[in-house]
Structure 1
Amino acid sequence: MIVSRLNKRLEVLGRRLMALMPGLWTDTPALFVLSTGRTGTETLARLLDLHHSIDAYHEPHPQLLVERKQARLEVYVQPEKYRRIFSESRSTPIWKSGRRGKLYAETSARLTFFAPIISQLMPNAKFVYMHRHPGDVVRSGMRRGWYVDHPADYARIEPGPQEEAYHCWRSWGAFEKICWYWDAYNRFALDFLDSMSADRVFIMPCQMLYQGTDIGLLFDFIGLDKPDDEKIGEILSHRYNSQLESEFPKFGDWDSEMKQTLYMIAGDTMRRLGYPLV
Protein backbone atom coordinates (compact mmCIF):
# COMPACT_ATOMS: atom_id res chain seq x y z
CA MET A 1 0.00 0.00 0.00
CA ILE A 2 2.81 2.41 0.93
CA VAL A 3 4.69 1.58 -2.30
CA SER A 4 1.52 2.13 -4.35
CA ARG A 5 0.94 5.55 -2.79
CA LEU A 6 4.56 6.48 -3.37
CA ASN A 7 4.32 5.51 -7.04
CA LYS A 8 1.18 7.61 -7.46
CA ARG A 9 2.90 10.61 -5.88
CA LEU A 10 5.89 10.13 -8.16
CA GLU A 11 3.58 10.00 -11.19
CA VAL A 12 1.87 13.24 -10.15
CA LEU A 13 5.25 14.86 -9.59
CA GLY A 14 6.51 13.68 -12.97
CA ARG A 15 3.40 14.95 -14.74
CA ARG A 16 3.66 18.37 -13.11
CA LEU A 17 7.36 18.70 -13.81
CA MET A 18 7.00 17.75 -17.47
CA ALA A 19 3.98 20.01 -17.96
CA LEU A 20 5.51 23.01 -16.20
CA MET A 21 9.13 22.62 -17.31
CA PRO A 22 9.27 22.03 -21.09
CA GLY A 23 13.03 21.52 -20.89
CA LEU A 24 12.43 18.12 -19.35
CA TRP A 25 11.02 16.96 -22.72
CA THR A 26 14.13 17.85 -24.69
CA ASP A 27 16.06 14.61 -24.28
CA THR A 28 13.06 12.27 -24.18
CA PRO A 29 12.77 9.94 -27.19
CA ALA A 30 9.33 8.84 -28.37
CA LEU A 31 7.50 7.58 -31.43
CA PHE A 32 4.23 8.87 -32.88
CA VAL A 33 2.10 7.89 -35.87
CA LEU A 34 0.48 10.14 -38.47
CA SER A 35 -2.52 8.52 -40.12
CA THR A 36 -6.16 8.83 -41.13
CA GLY A 37 -6.95 5.80 -39.02
CA ARG A 38 -8.16 2.56 -40.64
CA THR A 39 -4.55 1.92 -41.69
CA GLY A 40 -3.48 -0.82 -39.26
CA THR A 41 -2.49 1.36 -36.33
CA GLU A 42 -3.65 -1.20 -33.75
CA THR A 43 -1.63 -3.91 -35.50
CA LEU A 44 1.38 -1.62 -35.48
CA ALA A 45 0.99 -1.00 -31.74
CA ARG A 46 0.98 -4.74 -31.11
CA LEU A 47 4.10 -5.19 -33.25
CA LEU A 48 5.96 -2.43 -31.45
CA ASP A 49 4.92 -3.80 -28.08
CA LEU A 50 6.73 -7.06 -28.88
CA HIS A 51 9.98 -5.27 -28.13
CA HIS A 52 10.97 -5.22 -24.48
CA SER A 53 12.28 -1.66 -24.85
CA ILE A 54 9.01 -0.17 -26.14
CA ASP A 55 5.82 0.83 -24.35
CA ALA A 56 3.31 0.90 -27.21
CA TYR A 57 -0.19 2.34 -26.95
CA HIS A 58 -2.92 2.41 -29.57
CA GLU A 59 -5.52 4.88 -28.28
CA PRO A 60 -4.58 5.94 -24.73
CA HIS A 61 -6.78 8.20 -22.65
CA PRO A 62 -7.55 11.01 -22.84
CA GLN A 63 -8.23 10.41 -26.52
CA LEU A 64 -8.37 14.13 -27.39
CA LEU A 65 -11.26 13.65 -29.81
CA VAL A 66 -12.61 17.19 -29.86
CA GLU A 67 -9.12 18.63 -29.43
CA ARG A 68 -7.83 16.92 -32.56
CA LYS A 69 -10.75 18.34 -34.54
CA GLN A 70 -9.82 21.85 -33.42
CA ALA A 71 -6.08 21.26 -33.74
CA ARG A 72 -6.29 20.75 -37.50
CA LEU A 73 -7.48 24.33 -37.85
CA GLU A 74 -5.59 25.98 -34.99
CA VAL A 75 -2.31 24.22 -34.22
CA TYR A 76 -0.18 26.57 -36.32
CA VAL A 77 -1.86 29.74 -35.05
CA GLN A 78 -2.23 28.72 -31.40
CA PRO A 79 0.76 26.43 -30.78
CA GLU A 80 0.97 27.20 -27.06
CA LYS A 81 -2.61 26.01 -26.54
CA TYR A 82 -1.92 22.64 -28.15
CA ARG A 83 1.49 22.30 -26.57
CA ARG A 84 -0.23 22.61 -23.21
CA ILE A 85 -2.99 20.13 -24.11
CA PHE A 86 -0.46 17.59 -25.32
CA SER A 87 1.94 17.93 -22.40
CA GLU A 88 -0.82 17.76 -19.80
CA SER A 89 -2.44 14.72 -21.41
CA ARG A 90 0.69 12.71 -22.22
CA SER A 91 3.28 13.72 -19.61
CA THR A 92 2.45 10.86 -17.22
CA PRO A 93 2.73 7.90 -19.65
CA ILE A 94 5.79 9.38 -21.36
CA TRP A 95 7.43 10.03 -18.01
CA LYS A 96 6.58 6.52 -16.78
CA SER A 97 8.08 4.93 -19.90
CA GLY A 98 11.25 6.97 -19.52
CA ARG A 99 11.46 6.05 -15.86
CA ARG A 100 11.43 2.37 -16.86
CA GLY A 101 14.01 2.94 -19.57
CA LYS A 102 11.50 2.34 -22.36
CA LEU A 103 10.52 4.19 -25.52
CA TYR A 104 7.00 5.63 -25.46
CA ALA A 105 5.18 4.84 -28.73
CA GLU A 106 1.65 5.97 -29.58
CA THR A 107 -0.02 4.85 -32.80
CA SER A 108 -3.28 6.77 -32.47
CA ALA A 109 -4.22 8.78 -35.55
CA ARG A 110 -5.69 11.35 -33.17
CA LEU A 111 -2.32 12.99 -32.58
CA THR A 112 -1.74 13.62 -36.29
CA PHE A 113 -2.69 17.29 -36.00
CA PHE A 114 -0.54 17.70 -32.88
CA ALA A 115 2.60 16.70 -34.79
CA PRO A 116 3.91 20.26 -35.34
CA ILE A 117 4.03 21.01 -31.61
CA ILE A 118 5.23 17.51 -30.67
CA SER A 119 8.18 17.85 -33.04
CA GLN A 120 9.18 21.14 -31.41
CA LEU A 121 8.52 20.09 -27.83
CA MET A 122 10.29 16.75 -28.28
CA PRO A 123 13.22 17.14 -30.69
CA ASN A 124 14.15 13.48 -30.18
CA ALA A 125 10.69 12.22 -31.13
CA LYS A 126 10.28 10.35 -34.42
CA PHE A 127 7.23 9.93 -36.64
CA VAL A 128 5.82 7.03 -38.66
CA TYR A 129 3.48 8.10 -41.45
CA MET A 130 1.01 5.36 -42.40
CA HIS A 131 -1.16 5.84 -45.46
CA ARG A 132 -3.70 3.73 -47.33
CA HIS A 133 -5.42 3.97 -50.70
CA PRO A 134 -8.32 6.43 -50.39
CA GLY A 135 -10.76 3.94 -51.89
CA ASP A 136 -10.14 1.57 -48.98
CA VAL A 137 -10.44 4.28 -46.33
CA VAL A 138 -13.61 5.70 -47.89
CA ARG A 139 -15.14 2.24 -48.09
CA SER A 140 -14.30 1.57 -44.44
CA GLY A 141 -15.77 4.90 -43.35
CA MET A 142 -18.94 4.36 -45.35
CA ARG A 143 -19.42 0.91 -43.85
CA ARG A 144 -19.01 2.37 -40.37
CA GLY A 145 -21.49 5.17 -40.90
CA TRP A 146 -19.06 8.07 -40.67
CA TYR A 147 -20.71 11.47 -41.04
CA VAL A 148 -24.14 9.80 -40.85
CA ASP A 149 -24.83 8.15 -37.52
CA HIS A 150 -21.48 7.19 -36.02
CA PRO A 151 -21.20 7.97 -32.27
CA ALA A 152 -17.89 9.78 -32.79
CA ASP A 153 -19.15 12.08 -35.56
CA TYR A 154 -19.38 14.99 -33.13
CA ALA A 155 -15.57 15.02 -33.03
CA ARG A 156 -14.83 14.16 -36.66
CA ILE A 157 -12.96 16.81 -38.60
CA GLU A 158 -14.82 19.32 -40.76
CA PRO A 159 -13.55 22.12 -43.01
CA GLY A 160 -13.10 25.62 -41.66
CA PRO A 161 -14.64 28.77 -43.22
CA GLN A 162 -11.41 29.53 -45.07
CA GLU A 163 -11.48 26.21 -46.95
CA GLU A 164 -13.20 25.59 -50.27
CA ALA A 165 -14.91 22.45 -48.95
CA TYR A 166 -16.67 24.52 -46.28
CA HIS A 167 -19.04 25.95 -48.88
CA CYS A 168 -19.95 22.46 -50.17
CA TRP A 169 -20.24 20.72 -46.82
CA ARG A 170 -24.00 20.99 -46.28
CA SER A 171 -24.79 19.72 -49.75
CA TRP A 172 -22.31 16.83 -49.60
CA GLY A 173 -23.28 13.34 -48.55
CA ALA A 174 -21.15 11.01 -46.43
CA PHE A 175 -19.22 9.76 -49.47
CA GLU A 176 -17.90 13.19 -50.43
CA LYS A 177 -17.18 14.04 -46.80
CA ILE A 178 -15.05 10.93 -46.29
CA CYS A 179 -13.17 11.63 -49.52
CA TRP A 180 -12.40 15.06 -48.08
CA TYR A 181 -11.49 13.50 -44.71
CA TRP A 182 -8.85 11.30 -46.37
CA ASP A 183 -7.48 14.27 -48.28
CA ALA A 184 -7.38 16.59 -45.25
CA TYR A 185 -5.50 14.13 -43.03
CA ASN A 186 -2.95 13.14 -45.64
CA ARG A 187 -2.42 16.65 -46.97
CA PHE A 188 -1.74 17.89 -43.43
CA ALA A 189 0.66 15.00 -42.76
CA LEU A 190 2.55 15.46 -46.03
CA ASP A 191 2.92 19.20 -45.52
CA PHE A 192 4.24 18.57 -42.00
CA LEU A 193 6.69 15.91 -43.19
CA ASP A 194 8.06 18.33 -45.79
CA SER A 195 9.35 20.42 -42.87
CA MET A 196 11.05 17.50 -41.11
CA SER A 197 14.52 16.03 -41.50
CA ALA A 198 14.58 12.57 -43.08
CA ASP A 199 16.05 10.92 -39.98
CA ARG A 200 12.88 11.69 -38.00
CA VAL A 201 10.37 10.26 -40.49
CA PHE A 202 9.49 6.74 -41.63
CA ILE A 203 6.91 6.42 -44.40
CA MET A 204 4.94 3.19 -44.15
CA PRO A 205 2.22 2.37 -46.70
CA CYS A 206 -0.23 0.02 -45.02
CA GLN A 207 0.66 -2.72 -47.52
CA MET A 208 4.12 -2.81 -45.98
CA LEU A 209 2.54 -3.64 -42.65
CA TYR A 210 -0.11 -6.09 -43.85
CA GLN A 211 2.34 -7.98 -46.07
CA GLY A 212 5.02 -8.00 -43.38
CA THR A 213 7.61 -6.57 -45.76
CA ASP A 214 10.46 -4.41 -44.48
CA ILE A 215 9.35 -4.59 -40.83
CA GLY A 216 13.05 -4.72 -40.05
CA LEU A 217 13.47 -1.28 -41.64
CA LEU A 218 10.95 0.14 -39.20
CA PHE A 219 12.90 -1.14 -36.21
CA ASP A 220 16.15 0.05 -37.80
CA PHE A 221 14.57 3.50 -37.98
CA ILE A 222 13.64 3.29 -34.31
CA GLY A 223 17.15 2.09 -33.47
CA LEU A 224 16.20 -1.30 -32.03
CA ASP A 225 16.54 -4.92 -33.09
CA LYS A 226 13.58 -6.49 -34.86
CA PRO A 227 11.52 -8.84 -32.65
CA ASP A 228 11.24 -12.55 -33.34
CA ASP A 229 9.84 -13.28 -36.83
CA GLU A 230 7.49 -15.95 -35.51
CA LYS A 231 5.91 -13.51 -33.06
CA ILE A 232 5.61 -10.90 -35.80
CA GLY A 233 3.90 -13.48 -38.00
CA GLU A 234 1.40 -14.33 -35.27
CA ILE A 235 0.31 -10.71 -35.00
CA LEU A 236 0.13 -10.18 -38.76
CA SER A 237 -2.05 -13.28 -39.13
CA HIS A 238 -4.87 -11.45 -37.33
CA ARG A 239 -6.95 -8.48 -38.42
CA TYR A 240 -7.46 -6.26 -35.40
CA ASN A 241 -10.34 -3.79 -35.27
CA SER A 242 -11.58 -5.28 -38.53
CA GLN A 243 -14.72 -4.05 -40.22
CA LEU A 244 -18.03 -5.73 -39.43
CA GLU A 245 -20.03 -6.90 -42.41
CA SER A 246 -21.75 -4.03 -44.19
CA GLU A 247 -22.40 -3.38 -47.83
CA PHE A 248 -20.30 -0.91 -49.78
CA PRO A 249 -18.39 -1.74 -52.97
CA LYS A 250 -14.63 -2.07 -53.16
CA PHE A 251 -12.82 0.65 -55.08
CA GLY A 252 -12.49 -1.54 -58.19
CA ASP A 253 -16.28 -1.80 -58.34
CA TRP A 254 -16.99 1.91 -58.04
CA ASP A 255 -18.69 3.54 -60.99
CA SER A 256 -17.01 6.34 -62.92
CA GLU A 257 -18.98 9.05 -61.11
CA MET A 258 -17.77 7.88 -57.70
CA LYS A 259 -14.16 7.75 -58.86
CA GLN A 260 -14.38 11.18 -60.45
CA THR A 261 -15.78 12.59 -57.21
CA LEU A 262 -12.82 11.15 -55.30
CA TYR A 263 -10.34 12.52 -57.83
CA MET A 264 -11.96 15.96 -57.77
CA ILE A 265 -11.69 16.17 -53.98
CA ALA A 266 -8.46 14.27 -53.28
CA GLY A 267 -6.66 13.98 -56.62
CA ASP A 268 -3.74 16.27 -55.79
CA THR A 269 -2.94 14.37 -52.60
CA MET A 270 -3.32 11.04 -54.38
CA ARG A 271 -0.67 12.18 -56.87
CA ARG A 272 1.68 13.18 -54.06
CA LEU A 273 1.39 9.67 -52.62
CA GLY A 274 1.69 7.91 -55.96
CA TYR A 275 -1.86 6.55 -56.10
CA PRO A 276 -3.01 6.32 -59.73
CA LEU A 277 -6.02 8.27 -60.90
CA VAL A 278 -7.54 5.53 -63.03
Structure 2
Amino acid sequence: MNIKSRGVNGKKLNERVGFAIGTGRCGTHFIAKVIDLEPNIACVHERNPLNETFHRYCKWYGLPIDHEGFLQTKAFEIEQDLKNHSFSFESSAYLSLSIQELYTRFDAKFIFLVRSPEKVVNSYLRKGWYKQPIFRVDLSLPPSYQNGLEFRHFLGRIIPSSTKFQLWCRMSRVGKLAWYWNMLNAKVLEQFQTLPATHWRLEKLEELSYWRYQEVAQFLGFQTQVPQEKYEILAQRRPGAQTNVPTIESWTESEIAEFETEVAPMAKKLGYEYRISCLLS
Protein backbone atom coordinates (compact mmCIF):
# COMPACT_ATOMS: atom_id res chain seq x y z
CA MET A 1 0.00 0.00 0.00
CA ASN A 2 1.23 3.47 -0.86
CA ILE A 3 1.31 5.35 2.44
CA LYS A 4 2.92 8.53 1.16
CA SER A 5 1.18 11.67 2.44
CA ARG A 6 -1.09 9.68 4.72
CA GLY A 7 -1.68 9.77 8.44
CA VAL A 8 -2.73 7.17 10.97
CA ASN A 9 -6.04 6.33 9.33
CA GLY A 10 -4.92 6.77 5.73
CA LYS A 11 -6.11 10.37 5.49
CA LYS A 12 -4.33 12.50 2.92
CA LEU A 13 -2.01 15.08 4.46
CA ASN A 14 -0.20 16.34 1.37
CA GLU A 15 0.47 20.08 1.08
CA ARG A 16 -0.65 20.61 4.67
CA VAL A 17 2.57 19.82 6.55
CA GLY A 18 5.79 21.78 7.01
CA PHE A 19 8.93 21.70 9.14
CA ALA A 20 11.75 24.10 10.00
CA ILE A 21 15.11 22.46 10.60
CA GLY A 22 18.76 23.44 11.06
CA THR A 23 21.67 23.18 13.47
CA GLY A 24 19.76 24.67 16.37
CA ARG A 25 20.52 28.18 17.70
CA CYS A 26 19.63 29.24 14.15
CA GLY A 27 16.12 30.66 14.50
CA THR A 28 13.89 27.59 14.83
CA HIS A 29 12.35 28.96 18.04
CA PHE A 30 11.88 32.38 16.44
CA ILE A 31 10.12 31.10 13.32
CA ALA A 32 7.88 28.93 15.50
CA LYS A 33 6.83 31.96 17.56
CA VAL A 34 6.02 33.92 14.41
CA ILE A 35 4.03 31.17 12.70
CA ASP A 36 2.19 30.46 15.95
CA LEU A 37 0.61 33.90 15.50
CA GLU A 38 -1.03 32.74 12.26
CA PRO A 39 -4.70 32.01 13.15
CA ASN A 40 -5.16 29.04 10.82
CA ILE A 41 -1.80 27.34 11.39
CA ALA A 42 -1.02 24.82 14.14
CA CYS A 43 2.59 25.47 15.11
CA VAL A 44 4.89 23.95 17.72
CA HIS A 45 8.57 24.05 18.63
CA GLU A 46 10.28 20.70 19.38
CA ARG A 47 7.03 18.83 19.90
CA ASN A 48 8.33 15.42 20.98
CA PRO A 49 12.05 15.56 21.87
CA LEU A 50 12.53 11.88 22.78
CA ASN A 51 10.85 10.59 19.61
CA GLU A 52 12.82 13.05 17.48
CA THR A 53 16.24 12.67 19.11
CA PHE A 54 16.04 8.86 19.11
CA HIS A 55 15.39 8.91 15.36
CA ARG A 56 18.19 11.44 14.93
CA TYR A 57 20.59 9.19 16.88
CA CYS A 58 19.73 6.15 14.77
CA LYS A 59 20.03 8.07 11.51
CA TRP A 60 23.38 9.63 12.40
CA TYR A 61 25.04 6.39 13.53
CA GLY A 62 23.45 4.30 10.78
CA LEU A 63 21.48 2.01 13.09
CA PRO A 64 19.03 -0.20 11.15
CA ILE A 65 15.58 0.51 12.54
CA ASP A 66 12.00 0.39 11.33
CA HIS A 67 10.85 4.01 10.98
CA GLU A 68 7.14 3.34 11.42
CA GLY A 69 6.92 4.10 15.14
CA PHE A 70 8.55 7.49 14.58
CA LEU A 71 6.26 8.23 11.64
CA GLN A 72 3.05 7.03 13.28
CA THR A 73 3.77 9.26 16.26
CA LYS A 74 4.28 12.21 13.92
CA ALA A 75 1.14 11.31 11.94
CA PHE A 76 -0.99 11.30 15.08
CA GLU A 77 0.40 14.68 16.14
CA ILE A 78 -0.20 16.15 12.68
CA GLU A 79 -3.76 14.82 12.50
CA GLN A 80 -4.53 16.42 15.86
CA ASP A 81 -3.23 19.72 14.44
CA LEU A 82 -5.38 19.46 11.33
CA LYS A 83 -8.63 18.87 13.20
CA ASN A 84 -8.91 22.61 13.81
CA HIS A 85 -6.27 24.12 11.52
CA SER A 86 -5.54 24.15 7.80
CA PHE A 87 -1.79 23.52 8.15
CA SER A 88 0.56 21.74 10.59
CA PHE A 89 4.01 23.20 11.20
CA GLU A 90 6.76 22.00 13.51
CA SER A 91 10.07 23.76 14.05
CA SER A 92 12.75 21.44 15.43
CA ALA A 93 16.48 21.10 14.85
CA TYR A 94 16.12 17.55 16.16
CA LEU A 95 14.43 16.59 12.87
CA SER A 96 17.31 17.70 10.65
CA LEU A 97 18.37 14.12 9.85
CA SER A 98 14.80 12.84 9.33
CA ILE A 99 14.03 14.79 6.15
CA GLN A 100 13.64 11.87 3.74
CA GLU A 101 11.22 9.97 5.97
CA LEU A 102 9.08 13.05 6.67
CA TYR A 103 8.95 14.02 3.01
CA THR A 104 8.11 10.52 1.83
CA ARG A 105 5.30 10.03 4.35
CA PHE A 106 3.78 13.51 4.54
CA ASP A 107 4.88 15.24 1.32
CA ALA A 108 6.23 17.82 3.77
CA LYS A 109 7.92 21.09 2.90
CA PHE A 110 11.05 22.24 4.74
CA ILE A 111 12.46 25.60 5.79
CA PHE A 112 16.21 25.15 6.27
CA LEU A 113 17.38 27.86 8.68
CA VAL A 114 21.08 28.70 8.77
CA ARG A 115 23.04 31.16 10.87
CA SER A 116 26.62 32.42 10.84
CA PRO A 117 28.93 29.75 12.28
CA GLU A 118 30.58 31.88 14.98
CA LYS A 119 27.14 32.85 16.35
CA VAL A 120 25.99 29.23 16.52
CA VAL A 121 29.25 28.05 18.08
CA ASN A 122 29.24 30.73 20.77
CA SER A 123 25.59 30.10 21.57
CA TYR A 124 26.21 26.37 22.02
CA LEU A 125 29.27 27.11 24.16
CA ARG A 126 26.91 29.00 26.46
CA LYS A 127 24.50 26.05 26.53
CA GLY A 128 27.24 23.63 27.56
CA TRP A 129 27.49 21.45 24.46
CA TYR A 130 30.43 19.00 24.40
CA LYS A 131 31.50 20.03 27.89
CA GLN A 132 31.85 16.51 29.30
CA PRO A 133 34.40 13.96 28.04
CA ILE A 134 33.05 11.14 25.88
CA PHE A 135 33.96 7.61 26.98
CA ARG A 136 34.32 5.21 24.08
CA VAL A 137 36.51 2.21 23.18
CA ASP A 138 35.28 0.78 19.86
CA LEU A 139 35.11 3.82 17.59
CA SER A 140 33.25 1.89 14.91
CA LEU A 141 30.21 1.49 17.20
CA PRO A 142 27.70 4.12 18.31
CA PRO A 143 28.46 5.49 21.79
CA SER A 144 26.53 4.25 24.80
CA TYR A 145 24.84 6.63 27.22
CA GLN A 146 27.22 9.11 28.83
CA ASN A 147 26.68 9.92 32.50
CA GLY A 148 25.62 13.47 33.39
CA LEU A 149 23.60 14.21 30.26
CA GLU A 150 19.83 14.40 29.94
CA PHE A 151 18.89 11.47 27.74
CA ARG A 152 17.54 13.64 24.93
CA HIS A 153 20.76 15.68 25.02
CA PHE A 154 22.84 12.51 24.76
CA LEU A 155 20.78 11.38 21.77
CA GLY A 156 20.79 14.76 20.06
CA ARG A 157 24.41 15.85 20.49
CA ILE A 158 25.98 13.80 17.73
CA ILE A 159 29.71 13.09 17.58
CA PRO A 160 32.02 11.70 14.87
CA SER A 161 33.23 8.11 14.65
CA SER A 162 36.39 6.26 13.58
CA THR A 163 39.61 8.26 13.23
CA LYS A 164 37.75 11.59 13.06
CA PHE A 165 36.57 10.98 16.63
CA GLN A 166 40.16 10.77 17.85
CA LEU A 167 41.00 14.08 16.18
CA TRP A 168 37.77 15.62 17.43
CA CYS A 169 38.50 14.63 21.04
CA ARG A 170 41.73 16.61 20.92
CA MET A 171 39.93 19.75 19.78
CA SER A 172 38.72 22.59 21.97
CA ARG A 173 34.98 22.95 22.41
CA VAL A 174 35.07 25.68 19.77
CA GLY A 175 36.59 23.21 17.31
CA LYS A 176 34.12 20.47 18.21
CA LEU A 177 31.16 22.79 17.70
CA ALA A 178 32.63 24.09 14.45
CA TRP A 179 32.74 20.47 13.25
CA TYR A 180 29.08 20.07 14.24
CA TRP A 181 27.97 23.25 12.43
CA ASN A 182 29.70 22.18 9.24
CA MET A 183 28.63 18.54 9.32
CA LEU A 184 24.98 19.08 10.22
CA ASN A 185 24.46 21.70 7.52
CA ALA A 186 26.19 19.45 4.99
CA LYS A 187 23.95 16.51 5.92
CA VAL A 188 20.82 18.61 5.48
CA LEU A 189 21.85 19.70 1.98
CA GLU A 190 22.77 16.11 1.16
CA GLN A 191 19.25 14.97 2.05
CA PHE A 192 17.71 17.74 -0.04
CA GLN A 193 19.36 16.29 -3.14
CA THR A 194 16.63 13.62 -3.18
CA LEU A 195 13.78 16.14 -2.80
CA PRO A 196 12.21 18.30 -5.51
CA ALA A 197 13.16 21.98 -5.33
CA THR A 198 9.50 22.78 -4.68
CA HIS A 199 9.75 21.25 -1.21
CA TRP A 200 12.68 22.98 0.45
CA ARG A 201 13.84 26.53 0.97
CA LEU A 202 17.01 27.88 2.61
CA GLU A 203 16.78 30.99 4.77
CA LYS A 204 19.61 32.84 6.48
CA LEU A 205 18.50 34.04 9.90
CA GLU A 206 20.42 37.28 9.35
CA GLU A 207 18.30 38.03 6.27
CA LEU A 208 14.92 36.84 7.53
CA SER A 209 13.07 40.15 7.23
CA TYR A 210 9.29 40.54 7.27
CA TRP A 211 9.36 40.60 3.47
CA ARG A 212 11.28 37.30 3.46
CA TYR A 213 8.84 35.84 5.97
CA GLN A 214 5.97 36.66 3.61
CA GLU A 215 7.77 34.63 0.95
CA VAL A 216 8.26 31.76 3.42
CA ALA A 217 4.52 31.72 4.11
CA GLN A 218 3.74 31.65 0.38
CA PHE A 219 6.23 28.82 -0.10
CA LEU A 220 4.49 26.80 2.61
CA GLY A 221 1.12 27.51 1.04
CA PHE A 222 -0.58 30.23 3.05
CA GLN A 223 -0.84 34.02 3.16
CA THR A 224 0.48 35.54 6.36
CA GLN A 225 -1.92 37.35 8.66
CA VAL A 226 0.82 38.44 11.06
CA PRO A 227 1.22 42.25 11.02
CA GLN A 228 4.70 43.59 10.39
CA GLU A 229 4.72 45.36 13.77
CA LYS A 230 4.28 42.06 15.64
CA TYR A 231 6.94 40.40 13.50
CA GLU A 232 9.43 43.17 14.23
CA ILE A 233 8.78 42.96 17.98
CA LEU A 234 9.63 39.24 17.94
CA ALA A 235 12.66 39.84 15.70
CA GLN A 236 14.05 42.40 18.15
CA ARG A 237 13.48 40.15 21.19
CA ARG A 238 14.03 36.70 19.78
CA PRO A 239 12.83 33.82 21.95
CA GLY A 240 15.59 31.66 23.37
CA ALA A 241 18.11 34.51 23.31
CA GLN A 242 20.78 34.07 25.97
CA THR A 243 22.85 36.38 28.15
CA ASN A 244 26.58 36.14 28.83
CA VAL A 245 27.24 34.46 25.48
CA PRO A 246 30.97 34.17 24.64
CA THR A 247 32.37 36.21 21.76
CA ILE A 248 35.07 35.54 19.19
CA GLU A 249 37.24 38.14 20.92
CA SER A 250 37.76 35.64 23.74
CA TRP A 251 38.91 32.77 21.49
CA THR A 252 42.53 31.58 21.59
CA GLU A 253 44.70 31.23 18.50
CA SER A 254 44.27 27.45 18.49
CA GLU A 255 40.48 27.78 18.81
CA ILE A 256 40.44 30.19 15.89
CA ALA A 257 42.52 27.82 13.76
CA GLU A 258 40.24 24.87 14.56
CA PHE A 259 37.13 26.91 13.85
CA GLU A 260 38.32 28.19 10.48
CA THR A 261 39.46 24.73 9.36
CA GLU A 262 36.24 22.98 10.36
CA VAL A 263 33.64 25.45 9.10
CA ALA A 264 35.36 26.48 5.86
CA PRO A 265 33.59 24.05 3.45
CA MET A 266 30.02 24.92 4.41
CA ALA A 267 30.76 28.56 5.25
CA LYS A 268 31.95 29.05 1.68
CA LYS A 269 28.95 27.15 0.28
CA LEU A 270 26.44 29.12 2.33
CA GLY A 271 28.17 32.47 1.81
CA TYR A 272 29.35 33.19 5.35
CA GLU A 273 32.55 34.95 6.30
CA TYR A 274 34.43 32.62 8.61
CA ARG A 275 37.90 34.17 8.87
CA ILE A 276 38.04 35.62 12.35
CA SER A 277 40.43 38.41 11.35
CA CYS A 278 37.81 39.63 8.85
CA LEU A 279 34.97 39.30 11.35
CA LEU A 280 36.92 41.38 13.85
CA SER A 281 37.91 44.11 11.39
Q: Which TM-score band applies after superposition, normalised by the shorter structure?
A: 0.7 to 0.9
The answer to whether the 8 Å contact 1:39/1:132 transfers is yes
Q: Alpha-carbon deviations, 1:178-220, whole Å to 9, x = none?
A: 11111121010111123222211121101123x4442111111
TM-score, normalised with respect to structure 1? 0.80
Correspondence for 2:222: 224
SS at match of 2:7: helix
Correspondence for 1:84: 68
Q: Alpha-carbon deviations, 1:219-267, whole Å to 9, x = none?
A: 1111211222222223223221111325x223x6645543331232221
Aligned residues: 250
Correspondence for 1:41: 28
Task: Indicate the structure with greater helix content.
Answer: 1
SS at match of 2:113: strand
Flag structure 2 segments of 5+ consecutive residues without an equivalent: 1-5, 133-147, 276-281
SS at match of 1:159: coil
SS at match of 1:168: helix
Check if 1:140 corresponds to 2:137. no
TM-score, normalised with respect to structure 2? 0.79
| Cα displacement (A) at 1:31 | 0.5
| Cα displacement (A) at 1:169 | 3.1
Amino-acid identity (%): 22
The answer to whether the 8 Å contact 1:69/1:158 transfers is no
Q: How does 1:37-116 map to 2 (within 5 A)?
A: 37-63=24-50, 64-74=52-62, 78=64, 81=66, 83-116=67-100
Alpha-carbon distance between aligned partners in 2 of 1:25 and 1:165, rounded to the nearest angstrom: 43
Alpha-carbon distance between aligned partners in 2 of 1:25 and 1:272, rounded to the nearest angstrom: 36
Alpha-carbon RMSD across the aligned residues, in angstroms, is: 2.4
Correspondence for 1:4: none
Flag structure 1 segments of 5+ consecutive residues without an equivalent: 1-16
Alpha-carbon distance between aligned partners in 1 of 2:123 and 2:20, rounded to the nearest angstrom: 20
Q: Alpha-carbon deviations, 1:61-113, whole Å to 9, x = none?
A: 24433432222232xx74x62x3132132122201122224211011100111
